[in-house]
């Protein structure tokens, strides 16, 4: 599983958001390494829970910042967060029941969604926050 190498291209220009994105990337990379190594001592399921919990916390931060500046795109952005959380809980439930995606497929979905969300919606949000003086 190729790791996500953090670089400035992922920066949305707001320190608090960038820091949290780095934590998320770190959790994803940790999971990727463990899945590749098929490390039986590594509790994948626990790390996925950690990832989901941290994601929910992180979305809360973004939503608070968007509210602070009455961001025009807030409803659409929150909608993306909500459908992601819903989709992930469905996938995790399927994994738990031994149906649906493998952990690797789940991880790939998390990774691809996160990268594209950061590069598109979060970057737009970051531009608006920067214009309002938040960095
Ligand atoms: Fe976001």
Residue-wise pLDDT for 50-95, tens only, equals 999 999 999 999 999 999 999 999 999 999 999 999 999 999 999 8
* Domain boundaries, position 31: 13-131
Domain count of the fold of the chain: 1
- The pLDDT confidence band at residue 41, using thresholds 50, 70 and 90, is confident
How far away, in angstroms, is 91 Cα from ligand 1 center? Answer: 20
How far away, in angstroms, is 3 Cα from ligand 1 center? Answer: 21
Ligand 1 is an ion; residues with CB less than 5 A from it: 62, 122
Q: How far apart are CA 126 and CA 135, in angstroms?
A: 8
Tell me the range of 63-67, 101-105, 109-113 where mean pLDDT is highest. 63-67
The pLDDT of residue 98 is: 87
CA dihedral 8, 13, 16, 21 (to 10 degrees): -40
CATH of the domain at 114: 1.20.120.50
Whether 88 maps to a domain, the answer reads: yes
The pLDDT of residue 118 is: 97
- The pLDDT confidence band at residue 100, using thresholds 50, 70 and 90, is confident
Whether 102 maps to a domain, the answer reads: yes
Whether 108 maps to a domain, the answer reads: yes
Q: How far apart are CA 68 and CA 62, in angstroms?
A: 10
Whether 28 maps to a domain, the answer reads: yes
CA dihedral 122, 87, 103, 36 (to 10 degrees): -10
Mean pLDDT of 26-39: 90
Whether 6 maps to a domain, the answer reads: no
**Three-state SS across 40-66?**
CCCCHHHHHHHHHHHHHHHHHHHHHHH
Q: Which two tokens stand for residue 82?
A: 């909500």
């Amino acid at each position: 599983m190729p790791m996500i190498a953090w670089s400035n291209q992922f920066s949305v220009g707001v320190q608090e958001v960038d820091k949290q994105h780095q934590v998320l990337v770190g959790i994803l990379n940790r999971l990727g390494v463990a899945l590749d190594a098929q490390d039986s001592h590594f509790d994948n399921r626990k790390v996925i829970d950690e990832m989901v919990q941290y994601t929910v916390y992180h979305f809360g931060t973004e939503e608070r910042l968007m509210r602070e500046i009455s961001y025009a795109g807030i409803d659409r952005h929150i909608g993306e967060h909500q459908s992601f959380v819903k989709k992930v809980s469905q996938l995790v439930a399927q994994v738990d029941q031994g149906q649906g995606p493998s952990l690797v497929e789940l991880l790939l979905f998390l990774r691809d969604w996160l990268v594209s969300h950061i590069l598109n919606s979060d970057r737009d949000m970051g531009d608006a926050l920067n214009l309002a003086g938040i960095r």
